[in-house]
Structure 1
Amino acid sequence: MEKYLCPGIYTKDKEEEEEEEEEEEEEEEEGRRRRKRKKKKKKKKKKKKKKKKKKKKKKKKKTGEFCCWELGQILFIAGTLSCCYC
C-alpha cells in the first residue's frame, strides 16, 4: 500500500519494497543463468568445430584398366606410362 505524505510525494510499505528488491534480485540471477547457458553453448559449439577433421581420399583401383607393369617397356617407349593404378 502506498502512503501519501504530501501531494505528489509518497512512500511505500517496507514489505512492498522488500518484495520489489527480491524480484529484482531474482531477475538478475535469471539473467546471469541465461548468460552462463549461452557461454556454455558457445563453448560446446567451438569444441565440435575442433573435432571435425578432413578425411583423406583413398585412391581406388579402376577395374578393367591396364597395368603398366604388365605391359612394361611397350608403354614406356610409347610414352603413355601414366595408366598405372597399382
Structure 2
Amino acid sequence: MKTIVVCIAISMLLGGIAISMNLLLGMSIHQAWFDIFNPFQVMEPIEVAVLFSLISLWIFNTCLHLFRKTKQHKKPEQRPH
C-alpha cells in the first residue's frame, strides 16, 4: 500500500513540475495540460522514430531471450551409455 501511495505522489510531483515549467515558458494552463498528457504532439519526428526504434529493439531482445530460454528447457537430456 505504501508503494502505491509513493508512486502516485511521485507521479503527481513530476506532473506538477512539468506543468509549472510549461507555465514558466509562457504557455497557457490548457496547453500545459495538453503537453503533459499527450507528449507525442510536442516531440519532433526524429525523436518519435528514435523512441519507437528503441522500443522495438527492447521487444526484440526480450523475445530473443524468451526464445533461448524455452529452447534450453526443451533440449532433451542425454542418457549415459
* TM-score normalised per structure 2: 0.48
> Which structure dedicates a bigger proportion of its chain to helix?
2
> Which structure dedicates a bigger proportion of its chain to strand?
1
* TM-score normalised per structure 1: 0.46
